[in-house]
Chain A
Amino acid sequence: MQSDIAVRNLVKRFGKNTALKDITLTSKKGINIILGPNGAGKSTLLKCIDGLYRPSSGYVSVLNANPYTDAHARSKISLLADVYGLYDFMSVKDNLRFFGNFYGLRGDEAIRKTAEMMGELDLKQYLDAKVEALSRGTKQKVAFCRSMLNEAQVLLLDEPTAFLDANASDVVRSHVQEMAHDGKTVMFVTQRLDEVTRLNSRILVLREGRLAAETDAEGIYSTVFKGVDVSVRLARPIGEKAIEGIRNIVWKNGKRPTLIKVRINGYGEVNKVLKALIDCGAYVVSVDYAEPALEKLVFGGRK
């Protein structure tokens, strides 16, 4: 089956800086997570796919068209960029009407089309408010509603939950998953590992403008849990002898600890540690670890 997005040997330069270096990828139906640290080129990649930037070399094809030169192709693509891109001097309603114009939505059609989503995101009260008066999170919600106007086949979402509260983030993610389920192609940019788990999909790791790896949640956690310290919190102290069998304890808060830190070399070891503790009569109340910076993760021997 033909991919909705095909990128071949894409290079994008800004003056002397090369933001994307020879990227080749094809999308799969559903969610394609683009994971990478700041400056990896994630946003630039989305903008090339959306036709905002002309590739310095290589090519981008979306739904068999060149999105840079073919304006019509963009009617089937939707971009939620890292900046919300709303007009401050206009109300929420007028912003939606304005952008709706380009998809042939006249009058209040754009408002009606996004009404359900606005309800879910608790936005209806802001319909007449000027965008300049809204908080960053609310602007992001409006921008997400705007990205739903054209019922796009290809959705390009650049950290769509970055400034949202937990509830709104869940609403956005569940809609994204619904759209993926309906056969749409979603490129979901994030730098948060928890988002990766929640979306549970194909992951493309981008680093320093290159595609460093294609993996999935398991691949990510196999990489994350290499030499990482996991903190296990217990409801009540446990005897020193009970934890003798647990290897690699790097720290504990006393002789009868309620908190221990164990160095883990693979996510499977977490279960082993917990099992050992539970078998010794411990009551585990939480497991936590400091998520490593994405810059430090090594995928397939490539940092």
Chain B
Amino acid sequence: MNLQNASAVAMKDLREVFSNIGIYGPMFGVPLFFAIVLPVLTLYIATNAAPAAVIKLVQLPVQPSDIYLKSLAFTLFFAVNVLGPIFMTMPIFTASVIAADSFVGEKERKTGEALLSMPISNNELLLGKLLASFIPAVVLTLGVFALYGGVVDYLAYGQFHVYLLPTVPWLMMLAASPLLAIAAMGIVVFVSSNVKSIKEAQQISSLLVLPVLLMPFASIFGAAKITFSFMLYLIIGLAVADLLIIYIAAKRFKREAML
């Protein structure tokens, strides 16, 4: 495999994404906004809006009697069990947007013929395009987790004089993010030969956020607890699913998909 070919494709795709504010603007803007606003809202609700009421809404592992501790427990629960899964959707969205633009965009912009006529193998092409989607998705997720963790800790320290993050399940959510990005990219490769537009591919691969978004509801209503073992099973399951998705996607990938 000629890695220079793959890296040329990856660099080109990255430049393409970052040359269009319509693509990278919402991709970065929305998570950054959420990373600040959601922790602030959480703490406001926990400490000011209804500290006693909110504690009844969620099934906390412990039910502290003190109002201060209730607010603290709620903030921690919300920061990990509710906001964590929300931020886990970031790698899915980012990878879907870039991968769809990268794979289906060649078809939509009619540049696929020129690219495919180059002496580049399918594997080099796939690797380049997957890297172009994977790297920003992971970097953005790392950045967003760091920012949201930082905001949570800043606010928590100001209010409770303790740092709440990172916790082990929270770190495992971060560890699961690259696997979610890979799954989203695999789905794009999978559907790229059957879709006609970038939006179509994005919409299909974005469906992957639905099971992730079940997690906060499941933990609010006590159906699931986001613990170390839960996250471990999730990561193992995702890794197996990724291997399967990428294997099938690579097998099914046809050069014609970009024409």
Contacts and interface: CB of A to CB of B under 8 A. Distances in A.
Given A53-B256, A89-B20, A103-B119, 14 more contacts: A47-B113, A47-B259, A52-B255, A52-B259, A54-B255, A68-B255, A71-B119, A71-B121, A74-B117, A81-B113, A83-B113, A85-B114, A99-B114, A99-B118
Contacts, number: 76
Contact of B113 (A52, A75, A78): A52
Interface string B1-37: 0001100100010011001100000000000000000
Given A74-B118, A102-B5, A102-B8, A85 B111 contact: yes
A26 B111 CA distance: 29
Given A52-B259, A98-B8, A101-B4, A86 B121 contact: no
18 contacts: A47-B259, A51-B117, A52-B117, A52-B259, A54-B254, A78-B117, A81-B114, A83-B110, A85-B111, A86-B114, A87-B109, A89-B15, A89-B16, A89-B19, A99-B114, A101-B4, A102-B5, A103-B118
A72 B119 contact: yes
B54 interface: no
Interface residues of A, number: 31
Interface residues of B, number: 27
A90 B20 CA distance: 12
Interface of A: 47, 50-54, 68, 71-75, 77-79, 81, 83-90, 98-99, 101-103, 143, 146
Main secondary structure of the interface of B (DSSP, over half): helix
Interface of B: 4-5, 8, 12, 15-16, 19-20, 109-122, 124, 254-256, 259
Given A71-B121, A87-B12, A79 B5 contact: no
Contacts of A54: 254-256
Contacts of A50: 117
B16 A87 contact: yes
Q: Which of B15, B19, B114, B121 counts the most chain A CB atoms within 10 A?
A: B114
